Chain A
Amino acid sequence: MDEMTLKIEHLCSGFFTERGYVPAVDDVSLLIPRGHVVGIVGESGCGKSMIARSVMGLLKYPGRITGGSIRLDGRELTGLTDRELQPIRGREMAMIFQEPMTSLNPVIPVGKQMREALLLHEDISRSAAKAEVIRMLSHVGVSEPEKRYNAYPHELSGGLRQRVMIAMAMICKPKLLIADEPTTALDVTIEAQILRLIRDLSRETGMSVLLISHNLGVIAQMCDTVYVMYAGKIVEQADALTLFDSYAHPYTRGLMDSVVRLDATPRRLPAIGGVVPNLLRLPAGCAFAPRCPHAVERCQAERPALEELSPGHWCRCFERGRE
């Protein structure tokens, strides 16, 4: 066994459109050690969900992986056919989404869906599979699991659906769980329950988690390591404490400043001006330069590389640390 559950190196993936190639993920490298929770934070369109879909082999035409490597427990996933990926998806890695209805079949009772997933991957009897499903439903906090076994997805509340989706992802005990905005559609009291559930499951089973979120609160509560993404690139990465204490990239600073503090209220909120660049027409220099308060001439002309500021803390900025 590799000590890294997931090893992404120089991954590029994007969309081939009529107007040209859209580089949604550009030279991204990311490591998930066994049992760790690793977060990717960024705003819509930064490419964070594209990474998840690239790993799962779920990119749809015109999206495609165009370079780099993705290794799950040492095994290369890029280049595998859908048929070759099938036994890996579900069994070795599973994904949960923001909207549970996208991954639950609306016309099959939830228990039956989970049982089928289990029967597909494991050689056990139907009754044993049913017992395992009920055990898993109860484990993720679904009350009256025998009764819910026969419920259709629409008969469940949003929080329950999310639990069912997590139970379905966990049923084959994957090594890697990819959670793409798992609580964004939920109320705050339910969000807290679901986040705790994911973390407890990871601790109990040694499962690694890739958590994708735009919410710095969720990231701070959950992650060991954090990657900040902007316009398809990693702009900063560090362990959670370092990132929240000594972030260096102006974009990370902008995100941190946008978080409303509960103990103090400024007259105005610091905001990042401007908008995310069009990936078809990226600036020649740093992609963040047009919105960056610290940009100098060099930032407009040259693209900065990721540099290691201190062990494990990487930042993609010429002007980092200078105010």
Chain B
Amino acid sequence: MMAKEILLEGRHLVREFPAKGRKKVHAVSDVDLTIYAGETLALVGESGCGKSTLGRTLIGLIPPTSGTVLFEGTDLTGLRPGAFAPYRRQMQLIFQDPYASLDPRMTVRDIVAEPLVTYGLCPDKAATTRRVRELLDAVGIPEEFLYRYPHQFSGGQRQRIGIARAIALHPRLIVCDEPVSALDVSVQSQILNLLKDLQERFGLTYLFISHDLSVVRFMADRVAVMFLGKLCEVGDTASLYTRPLHPYTRFLLDAIPRADPRLRDTGRALLQGEIPSPIDPPAGCRFHTRCPYATDRCRTEAPALRPLAGHEVACHRAGEV
């Protein structure tokens, strides 16, 4: 890869939410994450691991409990709303549920025009409409649908509209939070292809949040695996899929049901048990309660991310097991 320019960087990010009593939900716990300009970085993990919270914290939708976020070197945490606005434009979000993320009472034209109007990017109404037409064209929505309402579109088309809205402000970074999880497989491929095309055309950087490791394999340049609020492993996609170093990454990859009846599950080791609660995460390595390789050290001492064989991995025993 070429010399990589850092676009966004999270340092020691922590986000806690209040829970019942005096307890806290430890959604994100001391995460360092770097996103390079022009890449697709995937954030994968199971439900409740904190991946969506981390994504939203990185783009300033949720303030961190502690830690900093740097956008091209500028510290965004603690900026006043007015000072934050120019950065807000640079970072957009695409949601999972295309049915819930569009206002049912607005036409497609108004939905896509909203960010343009808010930021005063077009001199008049006609110019705004012209720009909306361009954006819809870029995402493959026919122009004659301009004055239709969200309920008149299929799930895939709604997701296209959400994407048009996200790219309206020429952002640098788009956080895609499970953008195809609610779609049928044949439509999934259309949307994934579209996201790749737009990335090339507009030089976009993606933080691609997903629990679907097959989709991530196709989309991502690099992958960060998250478990219960912490990163387990970060590495280049091809390398991570062929040589996973963290036991959790390995279990995740092994669990994907392969679309080949010859590769049937014949009693391979499965990850046992459930995901522990983020209200009371296990001491030491948070994965130790499900990990077959855990030792006493894992039960008491939390492993930090360390470089190993081209990846970064947070496991005391990575490399030996």
On A, residues with C-beta under 8 Å from B are: 43-44, 143, 157-160, 187-193, 195-196, 214-221, 223, 240-241, 244, 254-256, 258-262, 265-273, 275
Which residues in chain B, 307-321, are within 8 Å of chain A measured between CB atoms? Answer: none
Closest 7 CB pairs of A and B: A217-B257, A271-B189, A187-B46, A272-B186, A269-B189, A260-B214, A43-B184
How many Å lie between the Cα of A180 and that of B79 in the bound state? 49
List 13 A-B pairs, Cβ < 8 Å.
A195-B265, A196-B270, A217-B256, A220-B264, A223-B261, A244-B260, A254-B186, A256-B259, A260-B214, A268-B193, A269-B192, A271-B193, A275-B154
Closest beta carbon of chain B to A144's beta carbon, Å: 12
Chain B contacts for A220, CB-based, 8 A = 257-261, 263-264
How many Å lie between the Cα of A195 and that of B260 in the bound state? 15
Chain A contacts for B263, CB-based, 8 A = 220
On B, residues with C-beta under 8 Å from A are: 46-47, 154, 156, 184-190, 192-193, 196, 211, 213-215, 217-218, 237-238, 241, 251-265, 270-275
Q: Is the Cβ of B257 less than 8 Å from the Cβ of A157?
A: no
Closest beta carbon of chain B to A91's beta carbon, Å: 30
Q: Is the Cβ of A270 less than 8 Å from the Cβ of B189?
A: yes
> Which of B185, B218, B257 interacts with A191 by CB under 8 Å?
B257
Chain A contacts for B274, CB-based, 8 A = 157, 159-160, 190
Of all chain A residues, which has the CB nearest B290?
Answer: A189
Chain A contacts for B255, CB-based, 8 A = 188-189, 191-192
Closest beta carbon of chain B to A187's beta carbon, Å: 4
> Which of A157, A221, A266 interacts with B265 by CB under 8 Å?
A221
Chain B contacts for A266, CB-based, 8 A = 218
Closest beta carbon of chain B to A82's beta carbon, Å: 33
Of B187, B260, B263, B265, which is in contact with the most chain A CB atoms at under 10 Å from its CB? B260
> Which of A187, A189, A240, A262 interacts with B217 by CB under 8 Å?
A262
How many Å lie between the Cα of A229 and that of B70 in the bound state? 50
- How would you classify the secondary structure of chain B's contact residues: helix, strand, loop or mixed? helix
Q: Is the Cβ of B259 less than 8 Å from the Cβ of A43?
A: no
Closest beta carbon of chain B to A88's beta carbon, Å: 32
> Which of B185, B215, B264 interacts with A255 by CB under 8 Å?
B185
How many Å lie between the Cα of A258 and that of B156 in the bound state? 15
How many Å lie between the Cα of A273 and that of B154 in the bound state? 14
Q: Is the Cβ of A221 less than 8 Å from the Cβ of B257?
A: yes
Chain B contacts for A160, CB-based, 8 A = 274
Of all chain B residues, which has the CB nearest A260?
Answer: B214
Q: Is the Cβ of A188 less than 8 Å from the Cβ of B193?
A: no
How many Å lie between the Cα of A259 and that of B257 in the bound state? 11
Known: A43-B186, A158-B47. A241 touches B262 (CB 8 A): yes
Known: A255-B186, A258-B189, A268-B193. A189 touches B271 (CB 8 A): yes
Q: Is the Cβ of B185 less than 8 Å from the Cβ of A192?
A: no
Closest beta carbon of chain A to B291's beta carbon, Å: 12
Closest beta carbon of chain B to A224's beta carbon, Å: 9
Known: A255-B185, A260-B215. A192 touches B46 (CB 8 A): no
Of B184, B185, B275, which is in contact with the most chain A CB atoms at under 10 Å from its CB? B185
Of all chain B residues, which has the CB nearest A257?
Answer: B189
Of all chain B residues, which has the CB nearest A215?
Answer: B257
Chain B contacts for A261, CB-based, 8 A = 214, 217
Chain B contacts for A223, CB-based, 8 A = 261
Of all chain A residues, which has the CB nearest B196?
Answer: A268
> Which of A44, A221, A270 interacts with B184 by CB under 8 Å?
A44
Known: A43-B185, A259-B214. A188 touches B261 (CB 8 A): no
Known: A221-B258, A221-B264. A188 touches B218 (CB 8 A): no
Chain B contacts for A221, CB-based, 8 A = 257-258, 261, 264-265
Q: Is the Cβ of A216 less than 8 Å from the Cβ of B259?
A: yes
Q: Is the Cβ of B258 less than 8 Å from the Cβ of A258?
A: no
Q: Is the Cβ of B251 less than 8 Å from the Cβ of A189?
A: yes
Of all chain A residues, which has the CB nearest B241?
Answer: A262
Chain B contacts for A214, CB-based, 8 A = 184-185
> Which of B184, B211, B215, B264 interacts with A187 by CB under 8 Å?
B211
Of all chain A residues, which has the CB nearest B45?
Answer: A187
How many Å lie between the Cα of A269 and that of B265 in the bound state? 27
Closest beta carbon of chain A to B247's beta carbon, Å: 12
Closest beta carbon of chain A to B168's beta carbon, Å: 24
How many Å lie between the Cα of A261 and that of B260 in the bound state? 11
How many Å lie between the Cα of A215 and that of B188 in the bound state? 12
How many Å lie between the Cα of A252 and that of B191 in the bound state? 20
Known: A269-B189, A272-B186. A188 touches B252 (CB 8 A): yes
> Which of B46, B265, B273 interacts with A188 by CB under 8 Å?
B46
Of all chain B residues, which has the CB nearest A265?
Answer: B218
Known: A188-B213, A259-B259, A260-B215. A196 touches B265 (CB 8 A): yes
Q: Is the Cβ of B211 less than 8 Å from the Cβ of A260?
A: no
How many Å lie between the Cα of A143 and that of B273 in the bound state? 9
Contacts A44-B184, A244-B260, A268-B196 known; list 7 others, CB within 8 Å.
Answer: A187-B46, A188-B46, A196-B270, A220-B258, A254-B186, A273-B190, A275-B156
Q: Is the Cβ of B154 less than 8 Å from the Cβ of A258?
A: no
How many Å lie between the Cα of A206 and that of B47 in the bound state? 34
Known: A195-B257, A258-B185, A259-B259. A271 touches B270 (CB 8 A): no
Chain A contacts for B237, CB-based, 8 A = 265
Of all chain B residues, which has the CB nearest A160?
Answer: B274
Q: Is the Cβ of A217 less than 8 Å from the Cβ of B259?
A: yes
Chain A contacts for B259, CB-based, 8 A = 216-217, 219-220, 244, 256, 259
Closest beta carbon of chain B to A35's beta carbon, Å: 17
How many Å lie between the Cα of A195 and that of B257 in the bound state? 9
Q: Is the Cβ of B193 less than 8 Å from the Cβ of A265?
A: no
Chain B contacts for A273, CB-based, 8 A = 190
How many Å lie between the Cα of A102 and that of B47 in the bound state? 20
How many Å lie between the Cα of A191 and that of B46 in the bound state? 11
Chain A contacts for B47, CB-based, 8 A = 158, 187
How many Å lie between the Cα of A177 and that of B44 in the bound state? 33
